[in-house]
Amino acid sequence: MNVSGNIRKMRSELSNPVNYVLPLFDVLEENELVPLNELVGKEIRLTFQQQINCVVTGEKIKKVYGEGMSYLAFIKSPQAVESIIRPELSQAHLGIGLRDLTWELEHDMQPHVVYLAQTSGVKVGVTRIRHVPSRWIDQGAWKTMVVANTPYRQLAGLIEVAMKAHMSDKTDWRKMLTNTLDPDIDLMEEKLKFIEKVPAEYQPYIAKENEITEIHYPVIRYPEKVTSIKLDKVPVIQKKLTGIRGQYWLFDDDTAINIRSHAGYKVRLEA
């Protein structure tokens, strides 16, 4: 294998284990989908070609903001609107756009879920229903469960905000990449606690289903400790790929690289 292009976040399919592909772009045009599972257990060489292109405009940039954006795109593009990180800020249901009403209506005025995800501990999160289960996989979750269904984004965000006082909304990436698990956590019990804490006005949105999704990743060895590396400081990575989890590649020397955080970087991948 010898391919090159601009990185985008990995795409995934729920299977046992998760099936990953890496999209490579020619600036803004997709030109390659690289199957990754077959590379696990093999030595690869990833070379940064000293070029970054904004994922929104395609222009060459020296520094990325958000996920592969120029500074101007980050502060102007609807793809970086504040309600992506803080869904409670969305006002699309009121006909108000924070940046681009047409874009926000398309993305925010559709069914969303509030979910519980377990890696080491339990976190609460929000995603569009069409991003289930890819959102869970991106976070490296072990077990997940939908706990509320809402018709639009802001409502899901308000439920999440109400629950942040009682549980985390963050994933500890180090514990996730070392596979630090607590088998004593019962997601059904966590859902019951969730129901007890959710304010009365949100109770009608509690999910009736109790399905737990368990996710397995293509990993042959987890590190005891892990160090994150970036292509800016390590432009050539030549190591054995020992696994993929979330948006990370794991290597045999207990280092890992976050592929999603390198969106827009032009690379060559050899195996």
Answer for the pair 90, 106: CB distance below 8 angstroms, yes or no: no
- pLDDT tens, residue by residue, 52-90: 999 999 999 999 999 999 999 999 999 999 999 999 999
> For all residues of the chain together, what is the average pLDDT?
97
The pLDDT assigned to 165 comes to 87
Average pLDDT over residues 216-222: 98
Give the alpha-carbon dihedral of 137, 140, 146, 149, to 10 degrees. Answer: -60
This prediction has a pTM of: 0.95
Task: Please give the C-alpha separations between residue 24 and each of 137, 168, 231, 259, in angstroms, as whole numbers.
Answer: 20, 34, 16, 12
